[in-house]
Amino acid sequence: MARGAREKPLRLAEKLLLIRTMLALSQSEMLKRIGAENKMDYYRISEFETGKGEPSLPVLLQYARVAGVCVDVLIDDELDLPAKLPGKPKH
């Protein structure tokens, strides 16, 4: 049975860029904050933020933790990031 492409959140790249800029972090600093400095190159952050690449689920979880939000805020296009980061996750 053939499968189509996996559905992707439309606003994910925008939200990842907002997280980094709202926290005033460089791409290299963001890589360190998500604990991936030894696992990937800093240009991957740019790929995530432009939609040219998509982070793995563990990396997405780290983004959410750094931002202080629940993962669903990142993947649900109908939810917005809080006005101030880091936020306080509502589980």
Task: Please give the average pLDDT of every successive group of 10 residues along the chain, which has 91 residues.
Answer: 79 98 96 95 95 96 96 96 87 66
Q: Compute how many other C-beta atoms are within 10 angstroms of the C-beta atom of residue 55.
A: 20
Q: What is the pLDDT of residue 87?
A: 85
Domain boundaries, the chain: 12-75
Tell which residue, 7, 21, 29, has the closest CA to residue 75: 7
CATH number belonging to domain 12-75? 1.10.260.40
Q: What is the pTM of this model?
A: 0.90
Q: What is the pLDDT of residue 10?
A: 96
Between CA 5 and CA 8 the distance in angstroms is 9
Q: What is the pLDDT of residue 3?
A: 76
Q: What is the pLDDT of residue 1?
A: 57
